[in-house]
Chain A
Amino acid sequence: MVTVRAGRGRPWSPWRAFLAILRRDLYVTGRELPFFLAQVILQPLFLLFVFGKVLTQLGYARPGYVDVLFPGLVALAAVLTGFQSTALPLVIEFSYSNEIEDRLLAPLPIGAVALEKVVVSAMRGAIAAAVMFPIGLWLLGSIPWSAGAALGVSVMTVLGALIGAAMGLVLGTFVSPNRINLTFALVTTPLLFTGSSQYPWPSLTHIRWFQVVSALNPMTYVSEGLRGLMAPDVPHIQTWICFVAAIGSLVALTVVGLIGFLRRALG
């Protein structure tokens, strides 16, 4: 006989459920933090090492290349980590483990469960981007920075992480589980190399088609925005355009992702 009743009749705010599922994800992320960091840092770390250090020291890249590369890699870490934290876990939770069901049955709107996923993944993306700064300092000795950029850089980094998470929401809900491996391979690499993270977008005028392709990748605006804020001397898309494009793509991706999520969550 259960003697302790859960008690009902108190006023209810779905925010409490939202915070509770957020706490669950933060708890799981926190417990796996070392593995999580190792997983997200490795790729930008090697990119930074090979392109920023090795190629520069060997004389194949100019010393100023670091000013191009570093802001781009911060953007890459934010977007890619946000993306990876949502896409694959969502596919697994919706198909193989079904473990998202307990949260879908919690007393909060279904869409809020999707937004919580985006928020947590964006936090992970922002952490991954933040970690790039001490790594950059340690590896390169100095990183591009301009006075008064801190707020803009923070906002743009968070935007990048949110964009990545929303991309993951779209992919994780629209792609059928049995095609996820193929889709991941087909999406991740182009995402990685068309986001203007390793080159400044305005200099692509001679490779017009690639400039167009890059303009379609929302990561471009995060890379360019961070570049404009951190290394204003490097050619870059104007910062306000970057913010508008980033916010626009975030809204569009979130709306599409929510539609996909509701389709998966509700029969």
Chain B
Amino acid sequence: MDVDDKDPDVAVEVADLVKRYPRAPVDSVGGISFGVRRGEVFGFLGPNGAGKTTTIGILTTRIRPTAGSARVAGVDVMADPVGARRVLGVVPQQNNLDRSLSVRQNLLFHASYHGVPRALRKTRADELLAQFGLADRANGRPDDFSGGQIQRMMIARALMHDPTVLFLDEPSTGLDPAARLFTWERVAQLKAEGTTVVITTHDMEEAATLSDRVAIIDHGKLLALDTPIALVKGMAGERTLDCLVEAEDATEPAAVHGPLDRLSAVDRVEELDDPEVSGWRFRVYVQSDPASLVAVVAQVISDAGARLVDVRLGEPTLEDVFIHLTGRSLR
């Protein structure tokens, strides 16, 4: 069976996928459908318990769905789990390295489970160990390594059998910033090499940085699916200027509020209560690029008898998209 040339454009196909665990009152995954294109980085964004890990579990043949279908690299994961396991790689959330083996042996044995010929697995292990900065400690036991290094080992291990689709479950949870950056660079590199990567994350920055497209998921439902830019573009009302204003001639905030509100580029103005700050704070919601409006806003405030002393520009993020869709924040 050659799975590589069944459908050259689609790496993962999911249709009406449902998972309800025994005795659970609601579905963990409530009928989701999506497709991942070959060669793209696909991000699953949602809070803990949203159904991301369950979905990945189904796609990686470890969880049996209640209904629906899923194919990875053209292989039906329910009908042919063994075939699916040949073409997918998994980097789990938690350390599951083989503690009885050295780092290098972890890679070699993994490759042998997948039938990579002996000579090839040695060359490949050496390459990956060097690439992941593990070559000098290749004979150490996994127990002696830091979280970031364990993460690298698990990615290197998953790449040993050259998977068509790589699944990374919460790749940077619990990592320090440097390790996180390293992981991000590796994902970008894998994409450049043509590997399809599916990541789950509850970190909107990670989703926005890594993903070509992001699926926002909550309570087992797919709420939105698009490129990060397109998702954010739908949130035009969320572009803001946060202004800190000091009164000069003006005696009350309304004197500034009114003229700001009357600007044609401004949607609405909110007064923010902040007892920590002396002065008045306004959040100005705008239609266009907030940076281009700073001068105009400063002029209006000055004309109203006050002075703009601080301004912060707010661009909408995936977090805002999530709040907009669910009414809750991600964490």
Contacts and interface: CB of A to CB of B under 8 A. Distances in A.
Contacts of A21: 113
Contact of B115 (A1, A10, A104): A10
A97 interface: yes
Contact of A24 (B60, B109, B159, B193): B109
Nearest to A99: B98
Interface in A1-27: 1-10, 12, 14, 16-17, 20-21, 23-24
Contact of B116 (A6, A14, A104): A6
Task: Identify the interface centre among B94, B159, B162: most chain A CB within 10 Å of its CB.
Answer: B162
Nearest to B100: A28
Given A6-B116, A17-B114, A21-B113, A104 B62 contact: yes
Contacts of B3: 8
B2 A98 contact: no
Interface string A68-103: 000000000000000000000000000001110111
A110 to B, nearest CB: 8
Complex A-B, nearest 7 residue pairs according to Cβ-Cβ distance, in ascending order = A6-B162, A106-B113, A267-B63, A98-B96, A20-B112, A101-B96, A107-B86
Interface of B: 1-4, 21, 54, 57, 60-64, 81-83, 85-87, 90, 92, 94-101, 106, 109-117, 120-121, 123-124, 127-128, 131, 157, 159-162, 189, 193
Contacts of B112: 20, 23-24
A266 B63 contact: yes
Given A6-B114, A24-B113, 19 more contacts: A4-B120, A6-B120, A7-B117, A8-B86, A12-B1, A12-B86, A98-B92, A98-B94, A99-B96, A99-B97, A102-B96, A102-B110, A106-B113, A106-B114, A108-B82, A108-B113, A109-B82, A265-B62, A267-B21
A38 interface: no
A42 to B, nearest CB: 22
B320 to A, nearest CB: 33
B115 A17 contact: yes
B157 A102 contact: yes
Contacts of B117: 7
A138 to B, nearest CB: 32
A105 interface: yes
Contacts of A9: 2, 4
Nearest to B5: A9
Nearest to B61: A105
Of listed A9, A99, A110, residue having the most chain B CB within 10 A: A99
B62 A3 contact: no
6 contacts: A12-B115, A101-B92, A102-B98, A107-B83, A107-B85, A266-B64
A14 B82 contact: yes
Contacts of B92: 98, 101
B291 to A, nearest CB: 39
Contact of A2 (B63, B116, B121, B124): B124
Nearest to A29: B100
A8 B123 CA distance: 16
Given A10-B115, A97-B99, A104-B62, A4 B127 contact: yes
Contact of B4 (A6, A8, A10, A14): A8
A7 B162 contact: yes
Contacts of B120: 4, 6-7
B226 to A, nearest CB: 29
A109 B83 CA distance: 10
Contacts of B106: 102
Nearest to B126: A4
A110 B313 CA distance: 54
B112 to A, nearest CB: 4
Nearest to A3: B127
Nearest to A25: B100
B277 to A, nearest CB: 49
A16 B111 CA distance: 11
Contacts of A106: 85, 113-114
Q: A4, A23, A28, A265: which has the most chain B beta carbons within 10 Å?
A: A4
Contacts of B127: 2-4
A245 B33 CA distance: 52
Given A28-B101, A98-B95, A101-B96, A2 B115 contact: no
A3 B113 CA distance: 21
Given A8-B4, A8-B162, A105 B64 contact: no
Contacts of B131: 2
Contact of B113 (A4, A10, A17, A110): A17
Contact of A20 (B60, B82, B113, B193): B113
A265 to B, nearest CB: 8
Contact of A105 (B83, B85, B98, B121): B85
Contacts of A16: 115
A7 B4 CA distance: 11
A7 B163 CA distance: 10
Contact of A99 (B82, B99, B121, B193): B99
Nearest to A23: B112
A130 B162 CA distance: 43
A99 B157 CA distance: 13
A132 B86 CA distance: 43
